[in-house]
Amino acid sequence: MSSITNNPTTIAVFGLGYVGCVTAACLANLGHKVIGVDTDPGKVANVVKGEAPFYEPGLEALVKSSVERGLLTATTSTADAIAAADIVLLCVGTPSEKTGNLGLDQLRRVVTNINVKLAGRQKRLDVAVRSTVFPGTCEEIVESVFAGNDLVRVVSNPEFLREGTAVKDFREPSIIVVGGSDPAAVERVAGIYSPLGVPPCLVSLRTAEMIKYACNAFHAVKISFANEIGALASRMNISAEEVMDTLCQDDHLNISKAYLKPGFAFGGSCLPKDLRALNYRASRLDIKLPMLCNVLASNDEHLNRAIDAVADLGNIKLGIFGLAFKENTDDLRESPVVTMLEYLIGKGRDMKVFDPHIQIDAIYGSNKNFILNAVPHIGKLMVGGLEDMLGWADHIVIAQKPSTALAEAIRASGKPVIDLVRSGTGQPV
């Protein structure tokens, strides 16, 4: 980890709580000149004396050395901090309100206070929101306060540290995210972390805000998943630890990017069946698994969104690409496309369906039986070639990932497309 001395950038960190104080001390330790600001005079006095205002492993030593090196100071004065600052990091609290909504009072107050102190300012100020805020907040609360001041640029720079390992997490970040519409501002704020040697993810303002929520929701889901599987395993005298340890050894399908792309609802012969069996067994054992119990409901809801998007196209000629539950198979068991088509047939929609692996004349075995006996109404909609569907339809619905060649043929037809595989919710692409 290199350190930057003689860097003229001064960073004011507003809020000296868990995030702000760790950020301030770690940035100073990297060689930045940092001013910590808090409305709580006790926290400010701690930092001025070279003490951490709360317990966090490694923080006290960092605050002490940074203060001794003259790189970290603290104040309750917004005016003093803003006069010196080139970059502001907002680390104030955003606690839950009674309704569950995010409390933005501290954020509103701090940006209003800063704005008041900008009168007569000549130099640029980049304001980075490090607090966790819902997408749109940087625009609606922060940018709107500074509107009309060309010297101020706002970016989102969410924090991912964890209490208890906050200093280590800052120094070895799992990810650095900076979002904004002004590339120079985004790069300037990202630049303060450059000594850490982790390439930052530069994204849009709202994307940066959303990534933080996605990460925290993902962590919560992972914990609940492990706990629900663990509870069920333990009740059956199976080692929960061994099950989860072994699950984590699969970094191809389990701990990987696999299945983490927004897309169409799942189906097929395994996932719905096995989730049902797991939940049934858990209920027989008097174990409540609210998360696993609701996965199929979540999947149904996702399918409903797709069905609504297609139904909203109105009574036009629809060309449906794909019938099996995924590409490269002719397996129709629990295919969400079948459910969608049944709904649309019920609404009297005019459709032709093409699936590269389901040719009605050539299909055999259990799938032939299924098409001819269980869903003959769908069998009648099947066409033998993609061109038969493309030439006829007004609108194409991609319900299964096409090969590169077939995707190109669909694109070349010039027909409008709803791609359920890429957008999941039927947004036009």
Q: Tell me the per-residue interface mask from 286 to 325 with ligand NAD, x by CB under 6 A, - otherwise.
A: ----------------------------------------
Minimum CB distance to ligand NAD, residue 225 (Å) = 21
What's the burial of 290, exposed, middle or buried (CB within 10 Å: 0-12/13-18/19+)?
exposed
Among 31, 50, 58, 93, binds ligand NAD (CB under 6 A): 93
Contact window for ligand NAD (CB under 6 A) among 106-114, 190-198, 278-286, 386-394: 106-114
- Kindly state whether residue 37 participates in binding ligand NAD, applying the rule CB under 6 A: yes
Of the listed pieces 86-94, 222-230, 331-339, 413-421, which binds ligand NAD according to CB under 6 A? Answer: 86-94
Q: Which of 117, 116, 160, 115 is nearest to 142 (CA)?
A: 115
Q: With binding defined as CB under 6 A, does residue 267 bind ligand NAD?
A: no
- Considering only residues 12, 14, 186, 341, which one is a binding residue for ligand NAD as defined by CB under 6 A? 14
What token pair was written down for 421? 């595989």
The single-letter code of the amino acid at 76 is T
Q: Nearest approach, Cβ of 170 to ligand NAD (angstroms)?
A: 10
Establish if 219 lies at the interface with ligand NAD (CB under 6 A).
no
Residue number with the smallest Cβ distance to ligand NAD? 17
In the complex, minimum distance from the CB of residue 106 to ligand NAD, in angstroms, rounded to a whole number: 4
- The b-or-e profile of 374-410 (16+ CB within 10 A means b, else e) is ebeebbebbbeebeebbeebebbbbbbbbeeebbeeb
Assess 73 for contact with ligand NAD (CB under 6 A).
Answer: no
Q: Is 270 a catalytic residue?
A: yes
Among 142, 154, 161, 383, binds ligand NAD (CB under 6 A): 161
Closest distance between ligand NAD and the C-beta of residue 95, in Å?
7
Q: Is 163 in the site for ligand NAD (CB under 6 A)?
A: yes
Q: Is 135 a residue that touches ligand NAD (CB under 6 A)?
A: no
Interaction between residue 18 and ligand NAD (CB under 6 A): yes
Residue 228's nearest CA partner among 273, 163, 295 is: 295
Q: Is 268 in the site for ligand NAD (CB under 6 A)?
A: no
**What are the helix (H) ranges across 38-97?**
41-48, 59-68, 78-84
Rounded Cα distance between 134 and 143, Å, is: 14
How many of the other CB atoms lie within 10 Å of CB of 254?
A: 13
CA Rg value for the chain = 28
Task: Retrieve residue 161's tokens.
Answer: 């540290």
DSSP letter assigned to residue 196: G
Starting at the earlier edge strand, list the strands of the sheet with 395-398.
Answer: 350-354, 317-321, 395-398, 417-419
Residue number, 106 or 115, with CB nearest to ligand NAD = 106
Residue 180 near ligand NAD by CB under 6 A: no
Angle among Cα 296, 374, 279 to the nearest 5 degrees reads 20
Residues 128/157, Cβ–Cβ less than 8 Å: yes
- How far apart are alpha carbons 215 and 225 in whole angstroms? 15
Which residues have CB under 8 Å from 50's CB, separation 6+?
63, 64, 67, 68
* Number of residues in contact with ligand NAD under rule CB under 6 A: 26
Closest distance between ligand NAD and the C-beta of residue 214, in Å?
14
Residue 152 region by backbone torsions, left for phi larger than 0, else alpha for psi between -120 and 50, else beta: beta
Q: With binding defined as CB under 6 A, does residue 75 bind ligand NAD?
A: no
- The residue (of 162 and 273) whose beta carbon lies closer to ligand NAD is 162
Point out the catalytic residue in the list 138, 248, 270, 293: 270
Query: For ligand NAD, which residue of 32, 43, 302, 349 counts as binding (CB under 6 A)?
Result: 43
How far apart (Å, rounded) are the C-alpha atoms in residues 313 and 415? 13
Query: Is 170 a binder of ligand NAD (CB under 6 A)?
Result: no
Residue nearer to ligand NAD on the CB measure, 12 or 306: 12
The residue behind tokens 């000629």 is 317
Sole window of 8-16, 278-286, 290-298, 375-383 interacting with ligand NAD (rule: CB under 6 A) = 8-16
Binding footprint of ligand NAD on the chain (CB under 6 A): 14-20, 37-40, 43, 91-94, 106, 109-110, 113, 131-132, 159, 161-163
Q: Which residues are catalytic?
A: 270
